[in-house]
């Protein structure tokens, strides 16, 4: 079954899987294609299908920006690197996961290997295995404020320790990964059970709300236009509200 392709702008498209409505993004830049996350299939087929739909050569992919190592975001990285020679970029804290140095051994590792790579099992498989299923060692580790191919790295710990968002100024787009949620066009907290560090995650969202952007492309559901008043309203919620159980 194919994922779904959502055209976000003339240069940005979203490849979306029904499982968890997970989104990875294909961005056409003057210097080639940049991916934000790498799809949910360890054979890279989500992204390759998206490139085909857009009429883009697989070889045009130069860079894979990883928001975080979870299998629903990073599964395809290894295969895409093999096929395209693209470089993988993530933060220092996320790197051991992408190198699979963290991979579960013993029973948990065995169970993770046995879990099928289909639908909602993809995330579970990665979480049990404590790493993506195939190693995609980063070619460079980035930190807060670094700029790669026009994408500014904004470190946003909370959902994972090394989570990064990427602000793409040419299009005014914030690629938020799982640092926050967008539901029905509204900015929302991520669900509490998937947020191990609530304090860090809240600070990360506050940091993001201080930035200027007009569109949010998050790790799940659908991209949304977000204006300044909407950002300010959500920033006020972040200052005052208790963390809602389900985001
Ligand atoms: Zn995640």
pLDDT along the chain (247 residues), means of 10: 94 93 97 96 96 97 98 96 98 98 92 86 85 95 98 98 97 98 95 94 98 97 95 95 88
CATH code given to domain 4-240 = 3.60.15.10
CA of 133 from ligand 1 middle (Å) equals: 15
Centre of ligand 1 from the C-alpha of residue 180, in Å: 10
Q: Could you state, in order of their start, the residue ranges of all structural domains in the chain? A: 4-240
pLDDT recorded at residue 197: 97
56 Cα: distance to centroid of ligand 1 (angstroms): 27
Q: Please report the pLDDT score of residue 20 as a whole number.
A: 86
The predicted pLDDT at position 19 comes to 84
**What is the dihedral sign for C-alpha 119, 123, 128, 134?**
positive
For the record, the structure tokens of 236 come out as: 């006020």
What is the pLDDT at residue 125? 85
68 CA distance to ligand 1 middle (Å): 7
Parallel/antiparallel/unpaired status of strands 224-225 and 12-17: unpaired
179 CA distance to ligand 1 centroid (A)? 9
Q: How far is the CA of 159 from the centre of ligand 1 (A)?
A: 7
Q: How far is CA 131 from the centre of its chain?
A: 15
Distance 227 CA to ligand 1 centre (A): 25
What's the rounded Cα separation, in Å, for the pair 168 and 194?
26
> Distance between CA atoms of 96 and 21, rounded to whole angstroms?
26
How many beta carbons lie within 10 A of that of residue 120, not counting itself? 12
Q: Kindly report whether the global pTM for this prediction surpasses the value 0.85.
A: yes
Residue 145 Cα to ligand 1 midpoint, Å, equals 22
From the CA of 178, how far away is ligand 1's center (Å)?
Answer: 6
Pairing of strands 32-36, 22-29: antiparallel
Distance 99 CA to ligand 1 centre (A): 17
């Amino acid at each position: 079954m194919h994922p779904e392709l959502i055209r976000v702008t003339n240069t940005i498209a979203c490849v979306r899987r029904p499982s968890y409505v997970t989104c990875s993004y294909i961005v056409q830049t003057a210097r080639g294609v940049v991916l934000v996350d790498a799809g949910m299939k360890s054979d890279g087929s989500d992204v390759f299908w998206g490139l085909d739909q857009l009429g883009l050569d697989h070889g045009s992919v130069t860079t894979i920006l990883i928001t975080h190592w979870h299998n629903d975001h990073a599964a395809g990285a290894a295969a895409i690197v093999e096929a395209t020679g693209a470089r993988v970029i993530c933060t220092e804290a996320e790197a051991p996961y992408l190198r699979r140095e963290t991979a579960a051994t013993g029973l948990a590792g065995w169970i993770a290997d046995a879990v099928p790579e289909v639908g909602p099992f993809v995330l579970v498989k990665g979480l049990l295995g404590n790493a993506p299923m195939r190693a995609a060692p980063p070619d460079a580790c980035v930190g807060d404020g670094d700029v790669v191919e026009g994408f500014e790295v904004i470190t946003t710990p909370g959902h994972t320790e090394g989570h990064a968002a990427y602000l793409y100024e040419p299009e005014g787009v914030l690629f938020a990964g799982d640092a926050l949620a967008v539901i029905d066009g509204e900015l929302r907290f991520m669900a509490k059970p998937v947020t191990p560090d609530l304090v860090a995650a809240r600070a990360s969202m506050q940091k993001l709300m201080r930035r200027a952007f007009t569109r949010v492309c998050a790790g799940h559901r659908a991209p949304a236009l977000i204006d300044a008043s909407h950002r300010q309203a959500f920033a006020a919620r972040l200052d005052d509200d208790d963390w809602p159980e389900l985001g």
